[in-house]
Chains A and B, each alone.
Chain A
Amino acid sequence: MSGEIKHEWPLFEVFVRAKRGLNHVHVGSLRAADHEMALHHARDLYTRRNEGVSIWVVRSDDVVASGPDDKDAFFAPSGDKVYRHPTHYAIPDSVPHI
């Protein structure tokens, strides 16, 4: 009665767990009126052929993401810190199981 009905359904991101023991992986997006409908649509759209055993749906505008330009600030340091990698440490070949 009051205000305007929003006809464009919001966008949801869909994540599917392919089988037990694996992570949920992003497979795409869809439009739905609410979370429940998003889950049903995700089932129809992304798991028509045994693609998964579990689905997550998340409102796209709830996703906070790093940008491609954040590369240096976010991802460069791990490259600098070679001591974080096991191959940084020299161990004689004669030492077993390490």
Chain B
Amino acid sequence: MSDRIPAEAERVFTTTIEKDQRVEPRDWMPDGYRKTMIRQIAQHAHSEIIGMQPEGAWITRAPSLRRKAILLAKVQDEAGHGLYLYSAAETLGADRGDLTRRLIEGRQKYSSIFNYPTLTFADVGVIGWLVDGAAICNQVPLCRSSFGPYARAMIRICKEESFHQRQGYELLMTMMRGTEAQREMVQDAVDRWWWPSLMMFGPPDAESPNTAQSMAWKIKRHTNDELRQRFVDMSVPQAEALGVTLPDPDLRWNADRGHHDFGEIDWTELKRVISGDGPMNAERLAHRRRADEDGAWVREAAAAHAAKRQGVPA
């Protein structure tokens, strides 16, 4: 099995990528590819799991049974997405429990967007519209990732994300038809989430040293700045239709480029939040750690019950 000479194995790997075919878990792959894929998938999985918290906080306070049911379904989806992704990471030899420990101990990251607080119910709508909208921009190209299990998980996730974005936008449309106070609440939420949403695409291309290798391996299909531009162009008409203002005085259509120009992003803020100093970093990790510890007895009891039923002494 493994006595094949490395040069031949590497040639097969390179050809597979060049022909736009998928790399599957049992194929030979360079160590760097495996490590990068595990890191990328784990960070994505962690983001889905931590991403349950900002909206989960509103489930008990949703203003109607309909909104509560929608929010429950959405947060359940986020949990599902996390589990699809941990499943993909395990095909590469990563261990789910180990990945959770790395998250809890702060050794692996998750998307910086979830380190911002959800102050009003309008935030639930804006997260669906802008945060999930940005996530869709990022994720649709990943359905063509060269790593098969990740690409397949992304296809399932993207189908479900569409519900997330539409429920958010519909929630905001409903609030915009309401009282003046509700409209102000929506605008306030847009003002707070717009710039962090743009940061979701990562640092500018000039400061993204891994992009070239990731593009060559086809685990990244577009650069950060390309995807960010696509998101801005998509969001502008959606904001107009909603009747809100995007908080950027430099945002305007550029006919020469065929795209919207937009203002400079505060990269020091992104760096600060990524390095752990965002408004909610400590709370998000503490909550995840508590959930893991509180669930430990359930996992142990289930394992003991299974062992007992199999007749194996626990």
What is A's interface to B at a CB cutoff of 8 Å? 1-3, 5-9, 11, 27-31, 33-34, 37, 44-45, 48-49, 65, 67-70
Contacts and interface: CB of A to CB of B under 8 A. Distances in A.
10 contacts: A2-B313, A8-B97, A28-B87, A28-B88, A29-B90, A30-B83, A30-B87, A34-B305, A48-B77, A69-B2
Interface of B is mostly: helix
A9 B301 CA distance: 11
B76 A9 contact: no
Given A28-B153, A48-B77, A3 B313 contact: yes
Interface string B140-173: 0000000001001100100010000000000000
B309 interface: yes
A44 B149 CA distance: 20
Contacts of A1: 313-314
Interface residues of B, number: 38
A68 B26 contact: yes
A26 to B, nearest CB: 9
B306 interface: yes
B84 interface: yes
B27 interface: yes
A69 B1 contact: yes
Contacts of B87: 28-30
B302 A65 contact: no
B313 A33 contact: no
A25 B1 CA distance: 27
Nearest to B304: A5
Contact of A7 (B149, B299, B309): B299
Contacts of A28: 84, 87-88, 149, 152-153
Contacts of B26: 65, 67-68
Nearest to A48: B80
B305 A33 contact: yes
Nearest to B85: A28
A68 B313 contact: no
Contacts of A69: 1-2, 4
B80 A11 contact: no
B300 A5 contact: yes
B69 interface: no
B303 interface: yes
Interface string B72-112: 01001100100110011011000111000000000000000
* Nearest 3 interchain pairs by C-beta: A34-B306, A33-B302, A33-B306
A3 to B, nearest CB: 6
B307 interface: yes
A5 B303 contact: yes
B77 A9 contact: no
Contacts of A11: 90
Contacts of A44: 76, 80
Given A8-B97, A31-B96, A3 B299 contact: no
A70 B26 CA distance: 11
